[in-house]
Amino acid sequence: MHADMDAFYASVEQRDHPEFRGKPLAVGGSSARGVVAAASYEARQFGVHSAMPSFEARRKCPDLVFVKGNMPLYSRESRRVFEIFKEFSPLVERLSLDEAFIDLTGTERLLGDPATAGENLRRRIHSELGLPVSVGIGPIKMVAKIASQVAKPDGLKWVKECDVRFFLDPLPVSRIWGVGPVSAERLEAAGFHTLGDLARTSDTVLRGQLGDWGVEVAQLARGEDIRDVEPYRDAVSYGEEHTFAKDIADHTLLESMIRTHAESVARRLRRDGIRARTVVLKWKEGRRTAPGPRGYPLRSRRVTLSDPVDDGQAIAMAACGLLQRSGPTVPIRLIGVGCTNLEVATVSQVQLFSEGSTQRRKNLNQAIDRIEDRQVKRGEKDQD
Ligand SMILES: [Mg+2]
């Protein structure tokens, strides 16, 4: 099950301030340099979304109400949300402040079928926290994650094993988990537009056109996902990780995975109007030390930066630094990049590097976010 709160900060503000209910609301800074960190569903109807400059948001929606972000409040609400998540399964993988995978394997006798468990979770969050949440259920993580987006707002979608291909086939390749805008363009250029296009292609053709990566992506498109639900350690974190088909020791390859994950984490931070001060590198050693799928030692290293970041290159630099200084010394089966120590981004980014390079990165990030917006529009709705 993938559970994802709807317009999380905005919903918390609307719950605590009845006068804001039913109104277009933005959490963020209203100053000249202000940005929107989160938008209520009412505001989204005007085209307001996170990471948009506040002046532009106000132009699209003159009645937009601005509320300053309150990270301690959202973090506290996030903890309450996760306390409820954890009552449904001990295996909860945190993807962000308001979104998690919950492994329901083996809970049917206790919780009923997955749809019953999902509706009960939604009801409890509604009644105890007064907040809307959407739930997706599927046999693999990626399907559950896409299903929760389809269920939004305030709904539930269960994709049964026999319906997975029917559900996935028409979706655009940008919806594949882990395929960012650059990879999506590469797939499009090779003539793969939907998951069905990839799923129907033989491994030989895929390998010839796209290398081993193409074979892996097509496996996901067919609904074959080997990723387990991985409980995270951090109280609040954003992360992306990759399980390799075979153990990897080559640092060049690991660094390129780190850069991909860093860009993807950074996009999610920007989407959620968040910046992070701490970057975490984690990995799982290939050598099993205990029985079962969770018997591989999990390690992590972290570094805290002087300025909070939402930029993929800055996150990648920090994570690659950790890899070089204190990374794995044995082949590993999983690598992940995470961000924690978060704050609401209410003004545009302070100087990270020199003036010119900051501006260039900002322009690049906006371009990346625009590409992603375009793909989402071409596909189905994609909402947080
Ligand atoms: Mg959300």
* Residue range 124-151, pLDDT digits in tens: 999 999 999 999 999 999 999 999 999 9
- Is the pLDDT reported for residue 56 higher than 90? yes
Asked if residue 58 is part of any domain, the answer here is yes
- Is the pLDDT reported for residue 29 higher than 90? no
Regarding whether 178 and 258 lie in a shared domain, the answer is no
Asked if residue 227 is part of any domain, the answer here is no
**Separation of alpha carbons 276 and 361, rounded Å:** 17
Asked if residue 59 is part of any domain, the answer here is yes
Contact 147, 169 (CB under 8 A): no
Regarding whether 369 and 260 lie in a shared domain, the answer is yes
Contact 1, 61 (CB under 8 A): no
Regarding whether 8 and 147 lie in a shared domain, the answer is yes
CA of 59 to the centre of ligand 1 (A): 25
Regarding whether 360 and 316 lie in a shared domain, the answer is yes
Identify the domain containing residue 207 by its residue range: 165-221
Regarding whether 196 and 132 lie in a shared domain, the answer is no
Regarding whether 205 and 133 lie in a shared domain, the answer is no
Could you read off the pLDDT of 273-284 as tens digits, one per residue?
889 999 999 999
What's the N-to-C CA distance of the chain in angstroms?
16
With a pLDDT cut of 70, the percent of the chain lying above it is: 87
- Lowest-confidence segment of 115-119, 168-172, 223-227 by average pLDDT: 223-227
Domain end, chosen from 159, 187, 207, is at: 159
CA of 242 to the centre of ligand 1 (A): 22
Regarding whether 327 and 241 lie in a shared domain, the answer is yes
Instruction: Please give the pLDDT value at position 177.
Output: 80
Asked if residue 71 is part of any domain, the answer here is yes
Asked if residue 50 is part of any domain, the answer here is yes
Residue 199 maps to which CATH number?
1.10.150.20
CA of 23 to the centre of ligand 1 (A): 19
The mean pLDDT of the chain is 87
Regarding whether 100 and 11 lie in a shared domain, the answer is yes
- Is the pLDDT reported for residue 377 higher than 50? no
Whether the upstream peptide bond of residue 153 has omega within 30° of 0, thus cis, is yes
The yes-or-no answer on residue 56 being catalytic is no
Catalytic residue chosen out of the listed positions 13, 77, 93, 99 = 99
- CA angle (264 as vertex; 260, 233 as ends), nearest 5: 100
Regarding whether 77 and 23 lie in a shared domain, the answer is yes
Residue 349 maps to which CATH number?
3.30.1490.100
Handedness of CA 235, 240, 246, 247 (dihedral sign): negative
Better-scored residue on pLDDT, 183 or 144 = 144
Regarding whether 153 and 260 lie in a shared domain, the answer is no
- What total of structural domains would you count in the chain? 3
Contact 353, 309 (CB under 8 A): no
Instruction: Please give the pLDDT value at position 259.
Output: 93
Give strand pairing partners of 136: 2, 157
CA of 246 to the centre of ligand 1 (A): 33
- Is the pLDDT reported for residue 357 higher than 50? yes
- Is the pLDDT reported for residue 78 higher than 70? yes
The per-type count for the chain, helices as H runs and strands as E runs, is 15, 12
CA of 126 to the centre of ligand 1 (A): 15
Q: Which pTM was predicted?
A: 0.70
Mean pLDDT of 234-258: 83
Instruction: Please give the pLDDT value at position 135.
Output: 98
Domain end, chosen from 196, 221, 246, is at: 221
- Lowest-confidence segment of 58-67, 126-135, 241-250 by average pLDDT: 241-250
Residues 6+ apart with CB under 8 A from 10: 25, 26, 27, 38, 39, 40, 41, 43
Residues 6+ apart with CB under 8 A from 129: 15, 77, 80, 81, 84
Domain end, chosen from 132, 159, 186, is at: 159
CA of 122 to the centre of ligand 1 (A): 14
CA of 78 to the centre of ligand 1 (A): 11
- Is the pLDDT reported for residue 383 higher than 70? no
Q: 293: pLDDT confidence band, cut at 50, 70 and 90?
A: low
HSE value, Cβ hemisphere, 13 Å, CA-based, for 294: 6
**Separation of alpha carbons 64 and 174, rounded Å:** 31
Asked if residue 43 is part of any domain, the answer here is yes
Contact 176, 142 (CB under 8 A): yes
Distances (CA, A) of 12 to 5, 57, 85, 115, 118: 10, 20, 18, 26, 21
Instruction: Please give the pLDDT value at position 358.
Output: 62
